[in-house]
Structure 1
Amino acid sequence: MVHIGTVVVHVADVHRAAKFWAEALGYELRDGPIGDETPVLVPKDGHGQPIALDDSDRMHFDLHTADEDEQRAEVERLLALGARRVPWTYPPDAAFTVLADTEGNLFCVVNTGKG
């Protein structure tokens, strides 16, 4: 079954936001210093939800699956519950599927086993 893997938060300034949220929540950068990629903050004690900071994307959930079969099954299950596919331009190696919930909020179903 899918679970919330990451909450992606839209920010205007990733450096400023990373510093604020790291201090506010007792989080640290998972992948070292902020670079060109979306920084991911994780709890220092290992307990809590990772947060990704993105200046080019809307706020959304990344729902994680273990492999491609689970991803495919979860996408179908979520569609049956009322989610819908949305037009999206995917990179060639995409490990995610973008859906919208019943209110139009976007979310991703991510195959975390791809790689």
Structure 2
Amino acid sequence: MLTVGSVVLGVSDVQRAAAFWTATLGYVPREEIADDWVVLVPAEGTGVQLSLGLSETPVQELPRVHLDLYAGDAADQAAEVERLLGLGAQRVDWAYYPDDADFVVLADTEGNRFCVIDTGRP
């Protein structure tokens, strides 16, 4: 049986991306950060790893794969979005929001899209 070992993001600056994602998720580097690769792991316990690999390919405006980060409710979501913006994330002008969207689309310091989800809705 297979399991997900790591989600991999292509980045143009591994150090910058590692700084953003460690602050965002409370993760730590599994080993020393190299110029072209790092694997980030939860500081406490187990969980999905996030690997950052040097990439020269352009960021996809409409990525087929992205991260969903869960917040507890609308207030938590709003607070987390503001915290992430303070860490260097950017709001994405997303034309595809449904009327009752429970998510906010942001981009990390490398332009990779991700969502912050309000999981407090039924």
Give the TM-score taking structure 1 as reference length.
0.52
Per the alignment, in what secondary structure is the counterpart of residue 25 of structure 1?
coil
Q: 2:111 aligns with which of 99, 104, 113?
A: 104
Provide Cα deviations, 1:24-77, integer angstroms capped at 9, x if missing partner.
239xxxxxxxxxxxxxxxxxxxx865xxxxxx8522110001100000000000
Counterpart in 1 of 2:84? 78
| Contact kept? 2:71, 2:117, Cα under 8 Å | yes
Asked if 1:87 corresponds to 2:93, the answer is yes
Residue 100 of structure 1 aligns to which amino acid in structure 2? A
Identity %: 57
TM-superposed CA distance for 1:108, in Å, is 0.2
Q: Number of matched residues? A: 67
TM-score by length of 2: 0.49
- Could you tell me how far apart the structure 1 residues matched to 2:63 and 2:100 are? 19
- Write out the 4+ residue segments of structure 1 that deviate beyond 4 Å after TM superposition: none
User: Unaligned regions of 5+ residues in structure 2, if any?
Assistant: 5-45, 49-61
1:60 corresponds to: 66
Structure 1 position 25 matched with structure 2 position 3: yes
Q: Which ranges in structure 1 are unaligned for 5 or more consecutive residues? A: 1-22, 27-46, 50-55
